Structure 1
Amino acid sequence: MIRFSVLDRLAATIEAVGSDQFYPVMCEYLRECMEFDNVIVVIFVGSNVPYIAHTRHDGPDVFRLVDEQYLSGAYLLDPVYHFHLKHGDAGLYRLADVAPDQFRSSRYYKWYYGRIGISDEITVFLPVSRNSTVTISMGKDTSSGTTFSQKSEDNLRKHKSVIMALLRTHWHTLDAPHLGIPGASSLADSLRQELKSAHGVSISTRQAEVALLILQGHSSPSMGLQLGVSTQTVKVFRKQLYRRCGISSQAELFSLLMPMLGKANIHNEKS
């Protein structure tokens, strides 16, 4: 069996820049830098449905719920997605670095992470344009029964500048000019279409964005910061949204829209 060195993997990654094989080869290079059980490459573009560019698992299939649950709406609660929306700095992050302080005790963590079996995760996070971010999340699961040691993390960090340079170069060579990302329209617009189709209710894109932020648990001031408008303007959009939908509470909004997120995502992928 041929044993490849980290330099061999690096050379192969450089040669793969601009090709469809870049992310699989890149992940092999990362594996030489730090041993992991599973890896997923996720590209975020604005608030669109994320694009899964590559996955690999050597143990249990920790990505079995990606299509059914994550892309169908669970990503809206994911810390890495929100770090992208906040235009977080490029770097290598553990999940705890970007998650809320009580994330591991949250219902979402138990409902999603608890079921897929990932015990530890380190993510390469790189904003590559004003609204686009490339992430590569490397995980540990039950197949190894361990977490990443500080030594392993430190070794990965030695390669940080090279990793970031490779990702940037590939993005500008291939992905940026030819995104080809399913779901190019936003989830908010797809949700609008689904609401219109299912209930004959018409809402604006901004009202749909407010609806999604409400479902994520944002307050009116927080929504204002996300949307770049005043708190009072958010309240106006919220009032309009409730009136259009014929509801009067967050609970009613949740019951109305949550079942549609998956359908809206499917519509997004077909558009």
Structure 2
Amino acid sequence: MELQDIAWHQSVGQLIDSLDAPNFWVRLVRLLEHYLPFDSWVALLFSADRPVVLAESPTSDGRPDPLFQDYINGVYLLDPFYIASRENGQDGLVRLDDVAPECFEQTDYYRLYFRLNVVADELQINCQIDADRTLCLSLGSQQRFTPAQVALLSLIQPWIRGLMRQRLRFEEGLVAASAVPTWQHRLEATSQRSEMPLTSREMDVARLVLSGCSGKEIARKLDISIETVKVHRKHIYTKLNIKSQSELFAVFFKAN
């Protein structure tokens, strides 16, 4: 056993002792910083309702990050990690490359939120609590994580997930997060102002378009043809009186 191994076991033991401490998440993140570099982090709970933030990295002036507030207020609905957790929640380490849609970097969500808030890459350790809830620790970086860094985090993430699961019982007010209108309700409220409201299938297509899915990905997810996707997209633009994906994002963002 090497000195680094001994230091790891000592640190994990200290974290177990501090499971009920207010600074648990900070101590956990500081331990991870010894093994890989990252620039931002957030611990949150995903469910069918608004995500619950348990702890987050502070800004330089100690104030809440307005970009992150936008995320909580509704932009999370376009987050590839949130979408993946709702579609097929699972334990373990998840990389941005694993969940990002084909056209993710072409979306306004990427340009106006992700690139400014996360910058380059993101890793997320998921702990599936039950069929509806996923406890997550996300690590954002201004540089791409290297294969060696990903491999190391993958090696130690079972320890991290175990600590996260045990920590959850000490968190308070998790059920206090009130349900918020879904993206369907937000877009529907806007479409109601026109003479032709969006159909439920058009809502599905609109969400997938905003999240960065290509026509092929949308067709696969909804089990329809690419031509049908094109027809739905044309109807969406006509009904909302818009001409581009950027205008569709503006409609969604203003509805939040």
Letter in 2 for 1:186: V
Change in CA separation of 1:100 and 1:21 when aligned onto 2, cut-off 3 Å? same
| Deviation (angstroms), 1:178 | 5.2
Q: For residue 216 of structure 1, what is the aligned residue in structure 2?
A: 207
Distance 2:109 2:34 in 1: 32
Change in CA separation of 1:181 and 1:26 when aligned onto 2, cut-off 3 Å? farther
SS of residue in 2 equivalent to 1:136 = strand
Q: For residue 158 of structure 1, what is the aligned residue in structure 2?
A: 155
Q: For residue 89 of structure 1, what is the aligned residue in structure 2?
A: 90
| Deviation (angstroms), 1:107 | 2.8
Written as runs of structure 1 = structure 2, the 5 A alignment for 1:188-203 is: 188=182
Q: For residue 233 of structure 1, what is the aligned residue in structure 2?
A: none
Letter in 2 for 1:29: L
What do the CA deviations read for 1:139-160 (whole angstroms, capped 9, x no partner)? Answer: 222xxxx432222222222212
Q: For residue 74 of structure 2, what is the aligned residue in structure 1?
A: 73
Q: For residue 232 of structure 2, what is the aligned residue in structure 1?
A: none
SS of residue in 2 equivalent to 1:92 = strand
Change in CA separation of 1:256 and 1:139 when aligned onto 2, cut-off 3 Å? closer
Alignment match of 2:8 (pick from 6, 9, 31)? 6
SS of residue in 2 equivalent to 1:174 = coil
Q: For residue 128 of structure 2, what is the aligned residue in structure 1?
A: 127
Q: For residue 239 of structure 2, what is the aligned residue in structure 1?
A: 249
Distance 1:75 1:15 in 2: 33
What do the CA deviations read for 1:190-245 (whole angstroms, capped 9, x no partner)? Answer: 958x95xxx8xxxxxxx998786454137799579xxxxxxxxxxxxxxxxx9xxx
Alignment match of 1:258 (pick from 245, 252, 256)? 252
SS of residue in 2 equivalent to 1:89 = coil
Q: 1:18–1:174: 8 Å Cα contact kept in structure 2?
A: yes
Q: 2:94–2:126: 8 Å Cα contact kept in structure 1?
A: yes
Letter in 2 for 1:174: F
SS of residue in 1 equivalent to 2:90 = coil
| Deviation (angstroms), 1:163 | 1.1
**Structure 2: which 5+ runs fail to align?**
1-5, 210-217, 224-235, 243-247
Matched, 1:179 2:169: no
Letter in 1 for 2:75: A
Letter in 2 for 1:74: V
| Deviation (angstroms), 1:95 | 0.6
| Deviation (angstroms), 1:66 | 0.8
Q: 2:25–2:43: 8 Å Cα contact kept in structure 1?
A: yes
**Structure 1: which 5+ runs fail to align?**
200-206, 225-241, 243-247, 263-271
Distance 2:11 2:125 in 1: 18
- Aligned-residue Cα RMSD (Å) equals 4.1
Q: 2:77–2:183: 8 Å Cα contact kept in structure 1?
A: no
What do the CA deviations read for 1:13-51 (whole angstroms, capped 9, x no partner)? Answer: 2122244433222222222332222211121112x1112
Q: 2:20–2:167: 8 Å Cα contact kept in structure 1?
A: yes
| Deviation (angstroms), 1:92 | 0.9
| Deviation (angstroms), 1:52 | 1.8
